[in-house]
Structure 1
Amino acid sequence: MIALSKYTVDVRRLDEFSALDLYAMLKMRVDVFVVEQTCPYPELDGNDPDCLHLRLIDGEDLLACARLWRPTTDHLPRIGRVAVSPNHRGKGLGDALMREAIIECEKAYPGEAIEISAQAHLQKFYASFGFERTSEEYLEDGIPHVDMIRPLR
């Protein structure tokens, strides 16, 4: 774990989580993506075991999380499931989470660009981290999205 100001950055594989830490992360993702966004979709999609999971934590309190996909023959390394706890928004955690996710992707998969499937209304946010739009807008689980790539720097 690396200290980030008063927060701690934790990156691990799914099988390295305690049951309580795993529960907290999955609950936050469901609370944000399914309940808050009123979007019933398969949050538990079978991909978590193949990904790294990044969390911003403060003691036992989960502040934010993201899922980091390894590259495949069809995809570059990807950042997904980017979520900040509703109780901790407005504190710059979204920016911190994206900075750390990019750093961890670059460490784990050097020499690779990074892709995301971004909710369309967040394009400006992701562009501030160097992501460029690479697709037309499309619906994913009823929410407008665009594909974006952060080229190698």
Structure 2
Amino acid sequence: MTHYQLTGEARPALTPARQMTLRFSGTRRGARLARQLAVQQFAEWTGLPYDSDPARTVALVTAELASNAIRHGSLPGRDFRLALLVLPDHFRIEVTDTRPERLPPPVPPQPADETSGRGLLIVQAYADRWGHTARDAYTKTVWAEVRLCPTVS
């Protein structure tokens, strides 16, 4: 539940069967397809069912990141990129858009009467950790990691 900004963070070396990158149109349809693909790949790669709590978390976090990319990080005619990676204990979701100057703000508590602006609060609540990187002058990536097996308390 911690927000990290890990500039220059290197991705771990993974086998091709455990990572995927695709581009989607910067539309609501693109965001919906990204969410559906993320859940499908999560279930296929981990063997966990579609209706498991981690799969639902992947759906929710992917939907929020894709929605934010379209709403706040999109330029007309530009797509966003979705990358999915299986790490040893986590499933990593990365959404890259074309607005590196529009970094995610720190997540303040939202007043109860606000009708929008809760997306990053949802990501913070459900992801084990999340952050953003801007590796060049043309793109930024907002990422989140979902624990594969929920902790037992």
Give the TM-score of the pair, scaled to structure 2: 0.33
> Which structure's relative contact order is higher, taking Cα pairs within 8 Å and 6+ residues apart?
2
From the two aligned structures, give the one with the greater strand fraction.
1
